[in-house]
Amino acid sequence: MNYLSHFYFFNKPNTPYYNCGLVFPDWLGAYKRKRLSRNLIIETANEQELAAGIEHHFLGDRIFHGSDYFKEHAHGIKLILEKTSMNKDLFRFSFISHVILEMMIDRLLLLKHPHLGTQFYDNLDACDDSQLLYFAQRNSTADDGFKTMVEKFKHYRFILGYVNTGNFVYSLNRIIGRVGINFNESQVVELTAVIPEIENYIDTNWNKLFILFDNHEK
């Protein structure tokens, strides 16, 4: 799942460090592909909340990625991409479909719940970046640059831009660029043209997503 989906399905009111923990592993992954240590070092109440959020992050990923919903809809997006003129082997459609599915769920959450994005960032802003860095340094191989990345993530609020198709494709291009996949201008135009079809496909089966999380307490 992507950042906002973790928050939507597992957030708790008035627990910003827990809610920050819901996205913490993805922050580390975005920062030079760092990972958390298996046995977390926890020293404070805030870090205990972070750890609880991190646990639910991994729970959310296990539920989502192990589901028939994920397999079915990632494949459905792949079929839509295959109707374009883009080379499916060159652009690794299976991987891109996975990324688009997660981002598209965040996009639809924003469209259906206009205040969700602000709530998400308000929770992150309530957490002290120096404390987040200290936790990351003790529980992964992250360095001081991690704090800078978190500050930029909070400041630019790029996820809010997902509701704009151009920004959505721009963010997609940046994410897959980390693994060496890049769209040229004509490919961006072609991809942009199929985003509404992908959105409609995911929206049509929207309720199937929520069944995955009905029986899991926060």
User: HEC profile for the chain?
Assistant: CCHHHHHHHHCCCCCHHHHHHCCHHHHHHHCCCCCCCCCCCCCCHHHHHHHHHHHHHHHHHHHHHCCHHHHHHHHHHHHHHCCCCCCCCCCCHHHHHHHHHHHHHHHHHHHHCCCHHHHHHHHHHCCCHHHHHHHHHHHCCCCCHHHHHHHHHHHHCHHHHHHCHHHHHHHHHHHHHCCCCCCCHHHHHHHHHHHHHHHHHHHHCHHHHHHCCCCCCC
- Supply the pLDDT for residue 41: 97
| 217 lies in some domain | no
- Supply the pLDDT for residue 130: 98
Amino acid sitting at position 84: T
Number of Cβ within 10 Å of residue 120's Cβ equals: 25
- Supply the pLDDT for residue 179: 85
- Supply the pLDDT for residue 91: 84
Number of Cβ within 10 Å of residue 43's Cβ equals: 10
| 114 lies in some domain | yes
Name the residue range of residue 33's domain: 3-211
| 218 lies in some domain | no
- Supply the pLDDT for residue 169: 96
The Cα 117–Cα 11 span in angstroms is 13
| 184 lies in some domain | yes
| 113 lies in some domain | yes
Tokens of 74: 């990632």
The Cα 84–Cα 114 span in angstroms is 32
Q: How far apart are the first and last CA of the chain?
A: 16
- Supply the pLDDT for residue 197: 98
The Cα 166–Cα 168 span in angstroms is 5
How confident is the prediction along the chain (218 residues), in pLDDT tens digits per residue? 999 999 999 999 999 999 999 999 999 999 999 999 999 999 999 999 999 999 999 999 999 999 999 999 999 999 999 999 988 777 889 999 999 999 999 999 999 999 999 999 999 999 999 999 999 999 999 999 999 999 999 999 999 999 999 999 999 999 998 888 888 899 999 999 999 999 999 999 999 999 998 866 55
pTM: 0.95
| 216 lies in some domain | no
| 48 lies in some domain | yes
Name the domain count of the chain.
1
| 21 lies in some domain | yes
